[in-house]
């Protein structure tokens, strides 16, 4: 009996629902954090050692409220999803409730992220 295989572009078809989306976002957010921290360290080095215009431009981008909102999303999502994964790994019987745990994660994440963004915008508008 031959095994049915996904060959070509059919293997890339999205079939997972919420948990697979959380898995993909966790990987993407992890890479984004690594890129952000790496670029931040390199820009800080060039700023301190050479006072380069490139590093100044990078720091101006970092200070943008839009960039900070994206970074907060990435870091907060990655942290909350990591906690969900840890909890599910510590209690294997909870894996059957993975979809519900993903929904619970989003129900906690959305208000926490929303309040953070509102506070950031209010601070920016007040001049702090």
DSSP H/E element including 1: none
Query: Contact 45/23 with Cβ under 8 angstroms?
Result: no
Q: 3: helix, coil or strand?
A: coil
pTM of the model: 0.79
For 97-120, how does the pLDDT look when each residue is reduced to its tens digit (9 = 90+)? 888 888 999 999 999 999 999 999
Instruction: Work out the end-to-end distance of the chain between its first and last CA atoms, rounded to an integer number of angstroms.
Output: 68
> Does 39 or 3 have the greater pLDDT score?
39
Q: In this structure, what DSSP letter does residue 89 have?
A: H
Sorted by where each starts, the structural domains of the chain and their CATH numbers stand as 18-126 (1.20.1300)
Query: Contact 72/112 with Cβ under 8 angstroms?
Result: no
Residue 121 contacts by C-beta under 8 Å, 6 or more apart in sequence? 65
For 55-87, how does the pLDDT look when each residue is reduced to its tens digit (9 = 90+)? 888 888 888 889 999 999 999 999 999 999 999
Question: Is the confidence at residue 27, as pLDDT, over 90?
Answer: yes
Query: Contact 101/18 with Cβ under 8 angstroms?
Result: no
């Amino acid at each position: 009996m031959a095994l049915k295989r996904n060959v070509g572009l059919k293997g890339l078809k999205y079939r997972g629902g919420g948990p697979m989306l959380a898995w993909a976002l966790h990987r993407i957010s992890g890479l984004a954090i690594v890129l952000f921290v790496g670029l931040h360290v390199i820009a800080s080095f060039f700023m301190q050692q050479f006072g380069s215009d490139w590093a100044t431009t990078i720091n101006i981008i970092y200070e943008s409220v839009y960039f900070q909102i994206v970074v907060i999303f990435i870091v907060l999502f990655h942290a909350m999803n990591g906690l969900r994964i840890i909890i599910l790994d510590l209690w294997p019987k909870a894996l059957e409730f993975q979809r519900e745990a993903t929904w619970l994660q989003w129900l906690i994440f959305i208000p926490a992220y929303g309040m953070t963004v509102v506070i950031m915008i209010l601070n920016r508008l007040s001049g702090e």
